[in-house]
Amino acid sequence: MDTLVEIVSPGFLQREALVGSVLVGYMCAPVGVYFVLRRMIFLGVALPQISAAGIAFAFLIYRTLVGQHQHFVPNERLLAMLGSLSWTLVGLLILAAFARHRDTVEARIGATYAIAAAATILFLALDPAAEAHMVNLLKGDILATTGPSLTLMAGVFGAIALLLLAFRKEFLLISFDRDLAVVFGKHVGLWDSLLYLMIGVTISLGVMTAGPMVTFGFLVIPPLTARIITRRMLTFSLTAAALGAITAFAGFYCAYRFDLPLGPAEVALASLVLAIVVVTRGLSRVLGRWQAA
Amino acid sequence: MPGTLLTLRDVSLGYDGRVVIEHLSFAVEYGECLALVGPNGAGKTTLLRGILGLIPVLAGQIEYGFDRSTSPPGYVPQRDTLDPIFPLTVFEVVLMGTYGRLALLRPVGRRQRQLAADCLERVGLADLANRPFWALSGGQKQRVLIARALAVEPNLLLLDEPTAGVDPGAATAIMDLLARLNRDQGLTVVLVSHHLRLVRSLVRSVLWVEDGSASKGTAEVMLAPERIMDVFGPL
């Protein structure tokens, strides 16, 4: 209890990291809802890795064309963001364009993941100035979250949340019944592009803040959990967001309390919640069938 | 409302530049009930998708007697095309039909909700509004999709195999519903169907699609037993 009081107190030293964790958990989940609904879950594996490769590439190109970059300055994060976002968007558009060829989708995404992972390491190796700090940028270091980066994240995620809410009927239509959207005269390609842009920005910010593992974890696990316990679209998205925020907070608490690595603790806790929901649902179905018999 | 709702002039349709059906010329009048029939793979669904604007016209032109942007047609797809992973209630599915006339950023309001409820009532499924869509039987799902199409407030209703995969009782109920909509409310209906016996009792005109072309005539002529026997064998 003392730990809980400590982490929610205004003077908590890692307050930015806590808020950053909760923001990543809160925002990745409703975006991840569309990964689940469009059966693009495996893209959630590859995209964070592509994002990391983009960061490494951006620094390599900067080093090659301009020169040594300074660490711990705002421009550094801007450069990382540019590399991450551009690679994520291009990767997303290419993979989404081929998504309809379902017979080879796992192979494409698996290959993309392997290529992106290898490219990340190669870009780091090719950059003579690459240091341990670069590795932190690539794997995400939420404990290094600062006030300005938190403000940026809150602003961007807030805008994305507003867009998801304002255009939820358009996103639902193009995802659920694309043909009907065309019949209604919706520009399906434009709406897809907007959705992919929001996904790309969320993943890029998530990867830079918390790393690929946590980003993928919150993109997928809270929506999968919410899908089991909800029956309507709006409650599906809201429940996923709430689960993402709550498990992020609880994971932070566990990591702080028991001195565990933060990211793995959050993902493990989210997975535990999913497991509990799956088992509970299974048991209730078995019980229902037994009672009916 | 008299007049022509839809006119095709020497239209060719296909996929990736490959022609599936060509030289189509016919018209659909207001209040008409037209069935597209023919062997498997003849191009019936291709024609329906061309009318809906889902595939581009390769040659010729399609003229509409209504403004598709402000008054889109009602469309009932084959329900297999819809993914059961979406958590949707029956009411939410029907409500989607009202999106066709809602401007950007306009939220769904009381009028749209009342319209969706009325359309569910018209198909006899008002008491299932809060049930998960995927928990319904095949025939019930089809009626929900018809309600969704009605929520568009269409001039023209287009259905792709509305009785596919449903039991005979449900198929008859669906056809009876379409007959009521056409006869009592004057809704123009165009449907693709393989259920020739049911179609014969519902429609007045038939477009027979075969070998990449089509010909239109009355149901009595186009669905004459000897013609059916030649193509499909005994019913």
Please list the helix, strand and coil fractions of chain A in percent, rounded to the nearest 5, in that order: 85, 0, 15
Alpha-carbon distance of A211 to A259, in angstroms, equals 19
Phi, psi torsion values for B12, nearest 5 degrees: -120, 140
Residues in chain B with pLDDT < 50? 1
Question: Could you say which residues from 90 to 149 on chain B have a Cβ atom under 8 Å away from some Cβ of chain A?
Answer: 92, 96, 99-100, 102, 104-105, 108, 132
Alpha-carbon distance of A204 to A85, in angstroms, equals 6
Chosen from B46, B93, B96 to mutate, greatest number of chain A CBs within 10 A: B96
pLDDT tens-digit profile of A263-282?
889 999 999 999 999 999 99
Angle of the A43-65 helix axis to the A74-97 helix axis, nearest 10: 130
The whole-model pTM stands at: 0.86
DSSP label at residue B216: E
Residue B92's pLDDT is 95
What average pLDDT score do residues A192-219 get?
87
Assigned token pair, A13:
């030293």
As for the ipTM of the complex, it is: 0.91
What average pLDDT score do residues A250-269 get?
89
Alpha-carbon distance of A225 to A234, in angstroms, equals 15
Q: In this complex, which of A176, A183, A236 lies closest to B75 when CB atoms are compared?
A: A183
**B124: part of which helix (H) or strand (E)?**
none
Size of interface A-B (CB pairs under 8 A): 67
What average pLDDT score do residues A48-64 get?
86
Residue A146's pLDDT is 75
Residue B197's pLDDT is 82
SS3 B60: strand
Question: Are B132 and A231 in contact (CB < 8 Å)?
Answer: yes
Chain B residues whose beta carbon lies within 8 Å of the beta carbon of residue A183: 52-54, 72-73, 75, 100
Going by C-beta distance under 8 Å and a sequence separation of 6 or more, which residues neighbour residue B82? A176, A177
> Which residue(s) pair with B7 in the sheet?
B27, B63
Alpha-carbon distance of A42 to A111, in angstroms, equals 11
Q: What percent of chain A has pLDDT over 70?
A: 91
Assigned token pair, B175:
């056809």
pLDDT tens-digit profile of B24-59?
999 999 999 999 998 888 889 999 999 999 999 999
Give yes or no for residue A139 having a pLDDT over 70.
Answer: no
The residue whose two tokens read 């005539």 is B217
Closest residue of A to B152, CA-based?
A184
Alpha-carbon distance of A208 to A213, in angstroms, equals 11
SS3 B128: helix
Residue B136's pLDDT is 92
Q: Are strands B74-76 and B156-160 parallel, antiparallel or unpaired?
A: parallel
The lowest-confidence range among A43-52, A113-122, B85-94, B173-182 is A43-52
Contact criterion met (CB below 8 Å) for B46 and B55? yes
What average pLDDT score do residues A113-137 get?
76
- Burial (CB < 10 A; 0-12, 13-18, 19+), residue B164, is middle
